[in-house]
Structure formats: structure tokens, C-alpha cells
Amino acid sequence: LSDEAANGAGGGGAATEADYMRRLHGHAPGENQCTSALVKHIKAPVHLVWSLVRSFDQPQRYKPFVSRCVVRGGDLEIGSVREVNVKTGLPATTSTERLEQLDDDEHILSVKFVGGDHRLRNYSSIITVHPQSIDGRPGT
């Protein structure tokens, strides 16, 4: 958890962030495993941020290191797999990722990395989006 989030800076409530983290990001790492969390405060309303984040088929819309993404198969649903190309300069060029959870009510996107030329093994990512007030305006 970032210092900003832990201290409640940025106009949000630290208790609210801690509650979200505890409820939606609980991981029980096993031996030789680790977890991390990143909190980012965005000066835009939740509906706008979620419209970008929920796009499993277009992560390049908000991830600048992604150059291309192709979803295997037709429909976008739990279990869908995407092939991601990563821009040069990172220690990978491809990643194969499976959609594990997509919840439009709770604003949750969960992805598991199932292949690629990176060193990540048994890696998953959970992104959640929550409303907060930033400088007296709707934020995320």
C-alpha cells in the first residue's frame, strides 16, 4: 500500500481504501510467493475510469507498455484468453493472460498470466476501481 494511501492523503479516506484492500485484494501467499499492492488516485469519475479498465481486449488504452492485444475466440467472457505484445525495453515481448473475473457492479477485473516470454510464474492481477472525492470533486 502506498504511503499516500496509508496516510489518507489525496482527499480519500484511508479506512475506505484499507477496507477495499482487505475485502477485494486478500491474497494468501504460499512459500516462495509474494504480494504487492499499488494504489493510484485518479482525478476522474469512476464510470470513466472503469470504462477503460474493464476493456480486457484493449489494455493498451491505459497500460502504456502494451503495444498490441488480440483476444482468442469470439465473445469476451470469464475464461477468455488474450495475447499481449509488450513494447521493447521491458524484460518480455509477449504475455498470455486469462480473464478470471469481470464484475461491473463491484468494478473488479482479475487476470491470470498463463504464458508468455516473461519470468512471471503463478502470477495474477486484480484491479478494482472505487469512488472517492479528490479536491472536492468526483475521483477514483
Q: pLDDT by residue (tens digit) across 8-60?
A: 344 444 457 777 777 776 667 778 777 788 889 999 999 999 999 999 999 99
- Residues 43/134, Cβ–Cβ less than 8 Å: yes
Question: Is CATH 2.60.40.10 the classification given to domain 37-139?
Answer: no
Give me 62's grid cell: 491505459
Angstrom distances, CA of residue 72 to CA of 56, 57, 93, 131? 12, 10, 18, 32
DSSP three-state, residue 50: helix
- pTM equals 0.79
